[in-house]
Structure 1
Amino acid sequence: MSGEFEWIDEEAGPVVRPYAMTGGRTKPSSTAFDLLSMVVATGAEISPRAHLSSQHRQLLGLVSRARPLAEIASDIELPVGVIRVLLGDLLDQGLILVRPPMPAATSPAESLLLEVINGLRAL
């Protein structure tokens, strides 16, 4: 038996704890982030003094079109808490906009949804 241990499977890639990505921060700088909040990049130029990690840059690429926070977290495969902190950094730098979720009063009528369901079942 060899004295060497394999701690990480090569296919898994580098392992970084989520708190390391946020610098140990657990709370976002803004309370604007609900799971259904829509996030979109502003298209603003990134300041040369901005210290953006690869995760920040990956998030900016994901929000080139408006997307809900829950979908972003799913696509990037990081905990929602980490995503909120990283998006808070981008919001502070003016690189993203956050829109609150639609109020329930503006959602489609139940009768319309039932018609869609029945139409789909008829297919």
Structure 2
Amino acid sequence: MSVALVQEKPWLDDDAGRLVRPYTVSDGRTRPTTHFDLLTLVMATGRPPRAHLGPDHDRTLDLCAGPITVAEVAAHLRLPAAVAKVLLSDLVDCGALTARAPAVAAPADDRPLLEAVLRGLRRRL
């Protein structure tokens, strides 16, 4: 007979930090099935996951009660962004999360905009 242990908090040590290696949290997976930018907004749909995924997924879903960026989720979980993206993608795949790409206000190579920012910075310094 096997006994399943339920753990409410991740294994943490005050000095050493997380005792479970990040790659074990994602079952060794390094690539999410959904594309995420660090600024992608994720939010819970209100529907429970179709299958129980584990305590790290539960913590991730709890963080996503309101809109939150992928970078913020990774920071709160104290995990590398790549691992957080795998957890988030699992939740998107099972219908518990939605993801929205960040809006791009201006192209990164918009020279007039960059020059205006530079002029503003020089005035402040």
Same fold (TM > 0.5): yes
1:43 pairs with one of 46, 55, 60: 46
Root-mean-square deviation (CA, aligned residues, Å) is 2.4
1: CA distance, partners of 2:59 / 2:39: 20
Deviation of 1:29 after TM superposition, in Å, equals 1.0
Letter of the structure 1 residue corresponding to residue 83 of structure 2:
V
Residue 59 of structure 2 is aligned to residue 58 of structure 1 = yes
1: CA distance, partners of 2:25 / 2:92: 17
Runs of 4+ in 1 over 4 A off after TM superposition: none
Cα gap change, 1:74 to 1:10, in 2 (>3 Å): closer
Contact 2:39 2:101 in 1 (8 A): yes
Equivalent residue, structure 2, for 1:121: none
Identical amino acids, percent of aligned pairs: 41
Cα gap change, 1:103 to 1:20, in 2 (>3 Å): same
Deviation of 1:10 after TM superposition, in Å, equals 5.7
TM-score of the aligned structures, taking structure 2 as reference length: 0.70
Contact 2:49 2:95 in 1 (8 A): no
Letter of the structure 2 residue corresponding to residue 67 of structure 1:
I
2: CA distance, partners of 1:101 / 1:46: 24
How many correspondences in the alignment?
99
If asked which structure has higher relative contact order (CA below 8 Å, sep 6+), I would say 1
2: CA distance, partners of 1:10 / 1:96: 30
TM-score of the aligned structures, taking structure 1 as reference length: 0.71
Letter of the structure 2 residue corresponding to residue 26 of structure 1:
T
